[in-house]
């Protein structure tokens, strides 16, 4: 009879390298090593990479997209900085777009710190893997005229990551105090 063991996971964080997550994993008696899954945590280098896309958008301009409160949401792609216009819904600027993952990887959604993000697969909310607001000097709007401020000097300093599955389309809902916002999706494995 083959025995299986369940290993309880732990999170280990290091200031220079981020956090590694080792989830529960089954290991059979014939397997000599414990397999780990590592969650790659976005860091200042990721913000810098995202900021490069924003400071130097393809074609020299941001892509405009109008989020919707109902109906078919417009599609967005990774590596593309978007000027997102949000509709006014019951006194709040709130709208959704859709994103289809090109790879089964952790993806970061970069926005201003005042933006709230909800991601859904169908009607089910997707739990964020990680979220942080980094120092705004990583992508300062005030020091680069190519980065719009939208009422803040923080630009893309908030990143929320999700473990997306290749080929799956997700609905991304943004809520903000402003009618326009800057947004960018990045596959963290490509950094």
Report the pLDDT value the prediction gives residue 139, as an integer from 0 to 100.
Answer: 61
Give the model's pLDDT for residue 41.
59
- pLDDT at res. 148: 58
Question: Going by C-beta distance under 8 Å and a sequence separation of 6 or more, which residues neighbour residue 50?
Answer: 108, 110, 139, 156, 159, 184, 186
pTM exceeding the 0.85 threshold for the entire prediction: no
- Res 151: pLDDT: 47
pLDDT for 136: 56
Task: Note the pLDDT of residue 58.
Answer: 76
The pLDDT value recorded for residue 128 is 94
Task: Report the pLDDT value the prediction gives residue 140, as an integer from 0 to 100.
Answer: 55
Q: Which residues of the chain have pLDDT under 50?
A: 1-38, 142-145, 151
- Give dist(CA 89, CA 173) in Å, integer: 12
| Structural domains of the chain sorted by starting position, each given as residue range(s) with its CATH number in brackets | 1-39 (no CATH), 44-190 (2.60.120)
């Amino acid at each position: 009879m083959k025995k299986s063991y369940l290993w309880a996971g732990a999170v280990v964080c290091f200031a220079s390298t981020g956090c590694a997550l080792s989830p529960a994993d089954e290991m059979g008696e014939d397997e000599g090593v414990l397999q780990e899954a590592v969650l790659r945590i976005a860091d200042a280098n990721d913000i810098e990479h995202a900021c490069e896309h924003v400071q130097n958008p393809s074609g020299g301009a941001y892509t405009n997209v109008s989020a919707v409160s109902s109906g078919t949401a417009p599609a967005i792609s990774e590596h593309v900085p978007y000027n997102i216009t949000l509709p006014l819904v019951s006194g709040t600027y709130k709208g959704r777009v859709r994103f289809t993952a090109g790879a089964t990887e952790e993806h970061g959604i970069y926005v201003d710190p005042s933006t709230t993000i909800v991601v859904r697969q169908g009607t089910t909310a997707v739990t964020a893997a990680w979220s942080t607001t980094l120092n705004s000097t990583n992508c300062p709007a005030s020091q680069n005229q190519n980065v719009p401020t939208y009422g803040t000097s923080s630009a893309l300093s908030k990143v929320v990551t999700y473990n997306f599955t290749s080929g799956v389309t997700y609905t991304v809902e943004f809520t903000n105090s402003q009618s326009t916002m800057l947004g960018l999706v990045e596959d963290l494995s490509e950094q």
